[in-house]
Structure 1
Amino acid sequence: MAEPDTVRLRAPSERVSPKARLMWMCTDLLRCVPPMVLLVLATGPWHWFDLPTWSLVAIGVLFLAYGLLVPQWRYHVHRWEVTETAVYTQTGWWARERRIAPMSRVQTVDHREGAIARLFGLATVRVTTASSAGALTIEGLDQQRALAIVEELTRTADSVPGDAT
């Protein structure tokens, strides 16, 4: 039987903020606008190629479905957890990835707020470790919660012996 403080890969328990779904939806739909505009212009006034109207509608419906469904799916999958011994993350919407960073490996803890995230009151916490896989990222956290996590991680990582290498 494993000890209670043993670090092992497992599903994290915390969800990101529900507002992350709306932020992801807006950013995904905004990404779909330029290709749709180019398609409409290319088949309309510039006549680069001929596409039937129904195909433009079908492409638009696909973009809309992507923008509405993928954020829901991401919200269902994206999870995180911080314990005294490790940081756990689970990400992805198509391929899932679970990662763990023992506190003894934490090198830096960053707090980021992009322009769109700030509009929704959200932030990202990024935990850099001594790993070739790169940093662990927790997107879509409430700003105040993200700041509290950064403070907690900094304090906890500082109290763990070792040099994070």
Structure 2
Amino acid sequence: MSDDGGTVDGGDSAERRAILREPAHQVSPRAVPFWTVSALLGDAVVVVAAAVAYFLVPDVPGWVGLLVLLLAVAAVAHVLLMPRIRFRVHRWEVTDTAVHTREGWIGRESRIAPISRVQTVDSRQGALMRLFGLASITVTTASAAGPITVSCLDDDTARQVVTQLTAITASTEGDAT
């Protein structure tokens, strides 16, 4: 932008309209307890294994105990902070022209796939996701970057999105390559 509010390269308002907005929808609020329990289970295994090793292995230096304690503190911070940050960041949207996602909690990734590039639409629901009434959708495209995943949607929303994407892609011309 120049000082007078115009663009440096002389572009018009079409350039401003091309600015990417964030996807319209958040994931399910049940994603927070799901991510909390998932993190708790994974972190507990690591912390317990480190603590058991510390106490069972003879002649371990004292500083290793400090490392185990720091690991436990980091695990608690991870379990408390990560789910809430992810919930604020994770967003998704499906339109007649594209699938758009944003995810992450430390780093951020935004992905957009034109509907004409969609090859398959899959849904997944592991045991823990089923317990929380959640499902994930994976949209495979003709992209070297790999599939786009929309994680932690309510069961019903996931089914509706799969149905919507199937209908849109079936009516879209092109060979998804």
TM-score > 0.5, shorter chain as reference: yes
| Letter paired with 1:96 | R
What's the offset of the Cα at 1:59?
Answer: 2.7
Matching of residue 17 in structure 1 with residue 28 in structure 2: yes
Matching of residue 26 in structure 1 with residue 37 in structure 2: yes
| 2:107 aligned residue (74, 91, 95) | 95
| Letter paired with 2:169 | A
Q: Which has the higher contact order (CA 8 A, sep 6+)?
A: 1
What's the offset of the Cα at 1:95?
Answer: 1.1
| Letter paired with 1:14 | H
- Structure 1 stretches of 4+ moved >2 Å: 6-10, 45-48, 50-59
| Letter paired with 1:74 | R
What's the offset of the Cα at 1:143?
Answer: 0.7
Which residues in structure 2 correspond to 1:14-93 (within 5 Å)? 14-47=25-58, 49-51=60-62, 56-93=68-105
What's the offset of the Cα at 1:34?
Answer: 1.8
1:136-163 Cα distance to aligned partner (Å, 9 max, x none): 1000000111011000000001101111
**RMSD over equivalenced CA pairs, Å:** 2.0
What's the offset of the Cα at 1:58?
Answer: 3.7
Matching of residue 111 in structure 1 with residue 136 in structure 2: no
CA pair 48-120 structure 1, distance change in 2 beyond 3 A: farther
Inter-partner Cα distance in structure 2 for 1:54 and 1:130: 48
Tell whether the 8 Å contact from 1:99 to 1:136 is kept in structure 2 after alignment.
yes
Inter-partner Cα distance in structure 2 for 1:137 and 1:55: 35
Residue 94 of structure 1 aligns to a residue whose secondary structure is coil
Tell whether the 8 Å contact from 1:42 to 1:48 is kept in structure 2 after alignment.
no
| Letter paired with 2:24 | S
Q: Which runs of 5 or more residues in structure 2 are unaligned?
A: 1-12
What's the offset of the Cα at 1:57?
Answer: 3.8
1:94-133 Cα distance to aligned partner (Å, 9 max, x none): 1111111111111100011011101100000110011100
- Number of aligned residue pairs: 162
Inter-partner Cα distance in structure 2 for 1:93 and 1:141: 17
Q: Identify the range of structure 1 (59-68 vs 146-155) with the bigger mean alpha-carbon deviation.
A: 59-68
Inter-partner Cα distance in structure 2 for 1:23 and 1:81: 21
What's the offset of the Cα at 1:79?
Answer: 0.2
What's the offset of the Cα at 1:7?
Answer: 8.8
